[in-house]
Chains A and B, each alone.
Chain A
Amino acid sequence: MTFPVDLKYTKDHEWLRVENNIGIIGITDYAQSELGDIVFVDINKNLSDIKKGETFGTIEAVKTVSDLFSPVSGKIIEINSDLESNAEVINKDPYGNGWIIKIEILDVSEINELLDAEAYKALIGQ
C-alpha cells in the first residue's frame, strides 16, 4: 500500500493533490482496499460550491457504500468522467487515473489542517 508524500490526507480517507490553487481529490489506497471492488461513483452534479467536510457524492463497492467528503472548501470545476464507465480504475490507480473531482480551492489555509502521509499512515495503523 502506498501513500505518496506529496499528497494531503483526511481522516475520512480522501487525498488532496494541490496544483497552484486547484485541488485534485480521490480516495486513498487504504480506502479502495477496504471497500473492495468499486462498481459505481455517484457525484452530486447539483453541487458547485462545497464546504470542507461536506459530502459531494457516494462511492459504491460490491459489498458496501461510502460517502465522499471534500477535504477543503471550494468550487467543483471538473468531475472525472472516465469513472462513469470504469469506476474500478479507483481500485487499480487510486492516486492517478482514479482521481474523482477537481476543485478550485477557496481558502488555502485549510490545506494545512489536513494530514500528511506519515500522520495518515499512523491513523490507519500502517
Chain B
Amino acid sequence: MPVYYSSIIDEHLTVRNSVGVFDVSHMGEIFITGKNALDFIQMITTNDASKLTVGKVQYSAMCYEDGGIVDDLLVYRLDNGFMLVVNASNKDKDYEWMLKNKIDDVNIEDKSDDYSLLAVQGPRSADVLNNIVDFNLSELKYYTYKMGKIVGIDAIISRTGYTGELGYEIYFLGDESIAQKVWDAIFENGIDYNIKPIGLGARDSLRLEMGYCLYGNDIDQSTNPLEAGLGWITKLQKENFIGKDSISKIKEKGLSRKLLGFELLDKGIPRHGYEIYVDDRKIGYVTSGMQSPSLNKAIGLGYFEYDSVNKNSIFEIDVRGKRLKARLTDVPFVKK
C-alpha cells in the first residue's frame, strides 16, 4: 500500500465526499476456535466478548500484565469461534502473545497470508457494493457482518472501517487473481462516483480526524487503555483478563496523563514526538498531528499531564524550536 496514489488531500476528500478503496490485505487475521475459545478471548482482550453474538463485531485491545497495550483489534464472533483482526505491524508479536497465553482446547491459526481485505469507505460505498454483493447492505448495522458473496466469491462483509464514514470491510480467500477480480468489480461499479484507490497517508488523516488511535503513535506498550481514552473497551467488571489488576490499580490511583485532542492557533503543523509546554514546564507530547484536510486547520492528539490544562487554557507546542499556541478541542475533530 503506497502512502498515496494521487494525493493525500484528494484521496481524503474522496472518501469524505464519495467513496474510496483501501487494500489493507496486510492486516492480520487470526482465528480462534475450540471449546474454550470464548474463555481464551475473554482472558486476552479487555472488552467483554461474551456480549457478542454471531454476526457481531467488537473493538477491543490486548494488554500486558502491567496494563501496557499489546495491540488494538477487532473481534468477530463467528459460528465456530472468533476472528481477530490485528495491526499489520503487530501480527507476529500478537500471534506469539496468543500462543504464550494459550489455554487447553483452543486452536489459534494465523491466516493473515490467506486473506485479502479491501475496505470500501465513503457515503457512496453501499451504492457501489449493492450491485455486486448478494444481499442488501442496508440490512447491515454498524459493527455487524454477514457471510455473503461478492462477484460470486465467498466473503465476510462487515460494516466497519477506520474513516468515520459509512463503509465496509470485505475479507476473502484466494490468490491474486481473485483479489484482482473483486478489486476490478468494485472499481467498475464505482465509476459513476469517481471511486479511487486510497493510500496510507489518507488512511492516517481520516482516522485522525475521527480521533481514532493508531498503534505505534497514540498507543503502545508504554500506554494504558484508560489514559488513551479506551476505558469504554476496558471492562474492569469482567471476571478476569490479562492486565486487569494493573489497570484497576491505575484507575484507583488516578491517571497521571490523558490523551486529548488539540488544535493549533498559530500557523504550523504538530507532529509525533513534539513537546507540549505551559510556560516553561513540559506537560506532554504530541502523538499524532497534521493539517486536517476537512477542517483546513492543524489538529493533533497528545498526552497531557493530568489536570495540567483545561478547555480555556492556551498552551504551546514546540514545533522545531518554535513555540506555537494551541488549545484543547473536542474529539472527534470532524463531527459525523
Task: Please pick, from A40, A42, A58, A91, the residue contacting B291 in the complex, using a CB distance under 8 A.
Answer: A40
Which single residue of chain B is at the shortest CB-CB distance from A39?
B291
Please encode chain B, from 1 to 19, with 1 for each CB lying within 8 Å of some chain A CB and 0 for all others. 0011001111000000000
Report how many residues on chain B are interfacial, defined by Cβ distance under 8 Å.
17
| CA A40 to CA B292, docked complex, whole Å | 12
Task: Please pick, from A40, A65, A91, the residue contacting B267 in the complex, using a CB distance under 8 A.
Answer: A40
Q: Does B201 sit within 8 A of A, measured CB to CB?
A: yes
Q: Does A1 sit within 8 A of B, measured CB to CB?
A: no
Asked whether, in the complex, the Cβ of A63 is within 8 Å of the Cβ of B268, the reply is no
Residues of B within 8 A of A37 (CB): 7-10
Interface residues of A in 22-66 (CB under 8 A from B): 36-37, 39-40, 42, 58, 60, 62-63, 65
Asked whether, in the complex, the Cβ of B320 is within 8 Å of the Cβ of A65, the reply is yes
Which single residue of chain A is at the shortest CB-CB distance from B269?
A60
Residues of B within 8 A of A63 (CB): 3, 8, 201, 204, 290
Q: Given A37-B8, A65-B320, decide whether A60 and B291 contact each other with a Cβ distance below 8 A.
A: yes
Residues of B within 8 A of A40 (CB): 267-269, 291
| CA A62 to CA B11, docked complex, whole Å | 12
Asked whether, in the complex, the Cβ of A42 is within 8 Å of the Cβ of B267, the reply is yes
Asked whether, in the complex, the Cβ of A58 is within 8 Å of the Cβ of B320, the reply is yes
Asked whether, in the complex, the Cβ of A62 is within 8 Å of the Cβ of B268, the reply is no
Q: Does B271 sit within 8 A of A, measured CB to CB?
A: yes
Asked whether, in the complex, the Cβ of A62 is within 8 Å of the Cβ of B293, the reply is yes
Residues of A within 8 A of B4 (CB): 36
Q: Given A58-B320, A62-B290, A62-B291, decide whether A39 and B269 contact each other with a Cβ distance below 8 A.
A: yes
| CA A76 to CA B335, docked complex, whole Å | 44
Asked whether, in the complex, the Cβ of B8 is within 8 Å of the Cβ of A42, the reply is no
| CA A62 to CA B8, docked complex, whole Å | 7
Return A32 CB to nearest CB of chain B, in Å: 11
Residues of A within 8 A of B8 (CB): 36-37, 62-63
Asked whether, in the complex, the Cβ of B269 is within 8 Å of the Cβ of A65, the reply is yes
Residues of B within 8 A of A42 (CB): 267-268
Return B265 CB to nearest CB of chain A, in Å: 14
Please encode chain B, from 261 to 298, with 1 for each CB lying within 8 Å of some chain A CB and 0 for all others. 00000011101000000000000000000110100000
| CA A63 to CA B10, docked complex, whole Å | 13
| CA A55 to CA B312, docked complex, whole Å | 36
| CA A62 to CA B199, docked complex, whole Å | 13
Which single residue of chain A is at the shortest CB-CB distance from B267?
A40
Which single residue of chain B is at the shortest CB-CB distance from A88?
B9
| CA A42 to CA B4, docked complex, whole Å | 24
| CA A36 to CA B7, docked complex, whole Å | 6
Residues of A within 8 A of B268 (CB): 40, 42, 60
Return A69 CB to nearest CB of chain B, in Å: 15
Return A33 CB to nearest CB of chain B, in Å: 10
| CA A42 to CA B268, docked complex, whole Å | 8
Which single residue of chain B is at the shortest CB-CB distance from A91?
B7
Asked whether, in the complex, the Cβ of A62 is within 8 Å of the Cβ of B267, the reply is no
Residues of B within 8 A of A58 (CB): 320
CB-defined A-B contacts under 8 Å, sample of 30: A36-B3, A36-B4, A36-B8, A36-B201, A37-B9, A37-B10, A39-B291, A40-B267, A40-B268, A40-B269, A40-B291, A42-B267, A58-B320, A60-B268, A60-B269, A62-B8, A62-B9, A62-B201, A62-B205, A62-B291, A62-B293, A63-B3, A63-B8, A63-B201, A63-B204, A63-B290, A65-B269, A65-B271, A65-B320, A91-B7
Interface residue ranges, B against A (CB under 8 Å): 3-4, 7-10, 201, 204-205, 267-269, 271, 290-291, 293, 320
- Besides the known contacts A42-B268, A60-B291, 10 further A-B residue pairs in the complex with CB atoms under 8 A apart: A36-B7, A37-B7, A37-B8, A37-B10, A39-B291, A40-B267, A40-B291, A62-B9, A62-B201, A63-B290
